[in-house]
Amino acid sequence: MKRNVAIVGGGQTYHAARRQDVSQPEMVNEAVLAALKDANMTMDDIDAVLIGNMEFFEGQHMTDCWLADSIGAFGKPGLKITTGGTVGATIIAAGVHHVASGLFDRVLCIGFEKQEEGDTNAILSGVAHPLFGRSMAGAAMGFFAMLGSSYMANYGATEEHSAMVAVKARQNARKNEYAHLKLNIKIEDVMNSRMLAYPIRMLDMCPASNGACAMVLADEKTAKDRCKKPVWLRAMETAHNEQFVLEWRDTSSTAPKFSDVAATRVYKKLGVKDPASYYDVFEIYEPATWAEILWYEDLHLCKKGEGFKLIEKGITEIDGSIPVNPSGGVLSTNCIGASAMLRIWEAALQIRGDAGGHQVPRDVHRALATGYGGTCWTVVTSLSDSLED
């Protein structure tokens, strides 16, 4: 990049199934004010504002315009971005390019969703062709059901392995003051929850959350002059494809998938040979339990077909050798427009040592975050406490 870029501040709302105490503008403003406070800035310091969500979920069009006053965007340049579930990470990618290019020095990035004001499942059920897109039926449950069935058939994993992922996520969320689903559950609770589409049960899926996240990105001079704990965005890669090509449903396929492609590109940029030892923590976008197991493999944390062994051995627990989603992840909090941004912000908090109750119990110098959308659009982000490898 032409210029180095750092996260110099951020903030998020408390996430819940209902936020009837605030309007949509008020909810988004909570995250904006938290980010500005964390960055020790005011809107006068911000050069541009980028915002995104899945506007059809709430049925509100041109959110960047009618939220202008609550996000401080009035009179400032900016963009409204929508790329599916990964929109939050796409906003950060756009912010990085705007700062790295020299166009702006300080950019405010915002992602949000207030799903209680719309019907997300109704919208998702109509996005695909009724025949060729039938794997998307019932929102994304059908897609992940096919993934889970394929994985079990090919590699010998069981439903208990996906239940272990669900338990890990919700137990970690109990340590995170901002998380939505803070459930004290066990494997049998997951196995006894309502079947949605075999082998996907209710507790295998993410919730519909309301919430927002905001982050301030800045150039190297601003970061070093004004921030005590800058977190550097070392590399980002985006890869996406159509729903029916190079995706997750057939887990036996040897073709490179969007997630594998993006991760491989990031590793090549940074010269990473062993991501499991190079990174101290991972924040990955898992809308369903089986997706997390596939991410293990696509991020090269283990060999193909062995992802379930990591969760079985406790390797990806918060105190394991490869901590994954100490925040509770998307399985515990899914305000869709902010979900992918939260992965990056939570990774940054781990590097800063500011994650509170869900801080990984060891020094965190590098972290990897991923975003994922229903159109097989993914963004992989590498973060570090230093500009040195």
Percentage with pLDDT > 70 across the chain = 90
Asked if residue 39 belongs to a domain, the reply is yes
Percentage with pLDDT > 90 across the chain = 76
Asked if residue 34 belongs to a domain, the reply is yes
Distance of CA 326 to CAs 6, 239, 240, 281, 282, Å? Answer: 22, 25, 26, 8, 8
Angle of helix 159-173 relative to helix 141-155, nearest 10 degrees, comes to: 120
Digit-coded pLDDT (tens) for 94-124: 999 999 999 999 999 999 999 787 666 666 6
d(CA 64, CA 139): 26
Asked if residue 48 belongs to a domain, the reply is yes
Higher pLDDT: 44 or 244? It is 44
Alpha helices (H) in 156-257, listed in sequence order: 159-173, 187-191, 220-226
Asked if residue 168 belongs to a domain, the reply is no
Total domains in the fold of the chain: 1
CATH number at residue 107: 3.40.47.10
SS3 10: strand
What is the DSSP code (8-state) at residue 324? Answer: B
- H or E segment and range at residue 123: helix 120-125
Token pair belonging to 349 = 């908090």
Distance of CA 215 to CAs 112, 144, 289, 350, Å? Answer: 12, 31, 27, 15
Mean local confidence (pLDDT), 322-346: 97
Q: Is the bond leading into 130 cis (omega within 30 degrees of zero)?
A: no
Report phi then psi at 247, rounded to 5.
-120, -165
Contact 360, 323 (CB under 8 A): yes
Distance of CA 193 to CAs 35, 165, 201, 205, Å? Answer: 37, 14, 6, 11
Asked if residue 143 belongs to a domain, the reply is no
Mean local confidence (pLDDT), 170-193: 97
Domain hosting residue 28, numbered range: 5-119+208-226
Alpha helices (H) in the chain, listed in sequence order: 24-39, 55-58, 63-66, 68-71, 87-100, 120-125, 141-155, 159-173, 187-191, 220-226, 258-270, 275-278, 289-298, 307-312, 329-332, 336-352
In our burial notation (b when 16+ CB lie closer than 10 A, e otherwise), range 127-143 reads ebeeeeeebbbbbbbbb
Asked if residue 157 belongs to a domain, the reply is no
pLDDT at 327 over 90: yes
d(CA 31, CA 162): 32
Asked if residue 35 belongs to a domain, the reply is yes
Asked if residue 70 belongs to a domain, the reply is yes
Higher pLDDT: 138 or 188? It is 188
d(CA 88, CA 83): 9
- Confidence label for 14 from pLDDT (cuts 50, 70 and 90): very high
